[in-house]
Structures are given as structure tokens and as C-alpha cells.
Amino acid sequence: MKTNLAFPQVFSLEGELAVVTGGGTGIGQAIAQSMYAAGARVVLVGRREPELAAAVKGMGNGAAYAVHDITDTAHSPALVERVTKEHGPITCLVNNAGRHLKKPAIETTSQEFLEVLNTHILGAHELTRLVVPGMIERKRGTILFTASMASLFGIPLVVAYASAKSAMLGMVRTLSTELSPHGIRVNAIAPGWIETEMSRKAMEGDPTRRNKIIGRTPMAKFGEPADVGWAAVYLASRAAKFVTGSVLPVDGGVAMGF
């Protein structure tokens, strides 16, 4: 079967407008940078304007930001309306914003649990719900979620986070089934241990934990944020036009290692 798409154009995101939540730092920023490098225009969404402004400045024309807390779902319609008015139709949504909580399960309160769910699940669902009608109208679109190793196996002290990330995979599967007939693909990336400012702070003064992570990672190293960024480019590109409902581990082999 022949196709008109050839390398490297098949991986190009030219003509796409990607909205990346939690895009000011870490993995979200890397996803935005990679998509921008692949030709997409990007809008970074987050709560902290200085970080967003710095991230956009590092990219240049075709990159913008919007300050918004995705848990503030009452103002999510205004966000989508503003982005669409200023930049055009949203063709790719990356639900990356997250909230971590490290605490024993029996000490995790209902309120803390709900705050994590509000970010990963309710906030992401609301933005997805708002951008999908336009995608249906245009008969194309991609939606990506940043999942986690906590979606795939048990990790202690993160009951709220693991529950939210596991629920996210249910959302990916249901959305992909509902939206595939409309030309909309929905996928997730499950990063392993990635070297970010947040992970470095978490490892400070705890060489035992770092060694344990390296020891169970077959590639025996941490990943880089760009490893996740380029995986996102693939899933958003025409190279993945027959891929939906998938969860792509970017983890150095952790999910299958022993």
C-alpha cells in the first residue's frame, strides 16, 4: 500500500497548534519544545507566569503562553476561547499538568486525594471536553496524556497520584473509542524516571533511592525530558496515524525489567 507521506515530513507538525498544560517546566516544557522544533505552534498553559514566559522566550515566534489553573474549570471555557481567538483552532491538546503527593495511604486525607484528582482527571477532562467539538467539526485532532509508571505498577506512598494516573488510562481508552470515528486520536505516554529539576530535588541526599531506581532500570540511567518530548511528537504526527488508545512507556525498560 503506497502513501504520499515520506520521511521526514511524516513526523512534521507543521500546521498544528498544540496546547500543552504544565508547559512551563520539566516534561511539559520538553514536550512543547519538541513539538515546536517539529514545526507546530505551541501555547504553554500553567499557573506560574514567570516560568511560562521564560520557556516561551527560549523558543521564539510561534510560541505563546496562557496563565491558567486547570483545576479552575469554571474558567476553562474562557481559556479555550482566548487561545482559539488569538492563535486559531486547537489541533493537539497535551494534558500534562500534574500534582504530586508523597504520603502514606492512611495519612492521605480526602481533601488531598481530591486535589490530585482535580488536576489529573477533572481538569484534564474539562479541557478535553472543550476542545473536542472543534476537532470533530474538522474531522481531525490529537489528544495526549502524560501518564506514569504509577499507572502500570504499584509504587508506595503515592496512593492519590497512582489512582489519578490509573484513572487517566481509563479515560484514554474510553476517549479513543468514542472519538476515533471522528478522526481524533487519543494516546498516553508513561514516563519512567526522568532527570528533571523536580526529580533531582527528590533525590537530593538520598543516594539509596537513586541507586534503587537505576538498579531496576534495564538501561541503567535516568531519561531526559526530550525523550518524552520526541515520543509526543511521534504520537501527534502522521507517522502515528493508525495509533490510538495506546500507552507508550518511555522508561528505559522499567515496565518490562526485573
pLDDT digits (tens, 9 = 90+) for 129-183: 999 999 999 999 999 999 999 999 888 889 999 999 999 999 999 999 999 999 9
Q: Is the pLDDT of residue 28 over 60?
A: yes
Q: Which set of grid coordinates corresponds to residue 158?
A: 503515592
Residue 52: strand, helix, or coil: helix
Contact 247, 169 (CB under 8 A): yes
User: How many whole angstroms separate alpha carbon 70 and alpha carbon 120?
Assistant: 9
Q: Tens of pLDDT along 170-212?
A: 999 999 999 999 999 999 999 999 998 877 776 777 788 888 8
- The pLDDT-based confidence of 234 (bands split at 50, 70, 90) is very high
Helix or strand holding residue 172 (H, E) = helix 159-179
User: How many whole angstroms separate alpha carbon 45 and alpha carbon 160?
Assistant: 23
Q: Tens of pLDDT along 29-79?
A: 999 999 999 999 999 999 999 999 999 998 989 999 999 999 999 999 999
Q: Is the pLDDT of residue 20 over 50?
A: yes
- The pLDDT-based confidence of 112 (bands split at 50, 70, 90) is very high
Half-sphere exposure of 1 (CA within 13 A, CB side): 1
DSSP character at residue 25? S
Count of positions (residues) in the chain = 258
What are the strands of the beta sheet with 17-21, ordered from one edge?
A: 63-67, 41-46, 17-21, 92-95, 141-146, 184-191, 247-250
State percent of the chain over pLDDT 90. Answer: 83
Q: Is the pLDDT of residue 1 over 70?
A: no
Residue 198: predicted pLDDT:
73
36 catalytic per annotation: no
- Bridge partners (DSSP) of residue 186 are 143
Q: Tens of pLDDT along 198-209?
A: 777 767 777 888
Residue 149: predicted pLDDT:
92
Segments making up each domain of the chain, as ranges: 14-250
Exactly one of 36, 65, 161, 234 is catalytic; which is it?
161
Has this prediction a pTM greater than 0.85? yes
Q: Tens of pLDDT along 6-16?
A: 889 999 999 99
Domain 14-250 fold is: Rossmann fold (3.40.50)
Q: Is the pLDDT of residue 258 over 60?
A: yes
Q: Is the pLDDT of residue 83 over 70?
A: yes
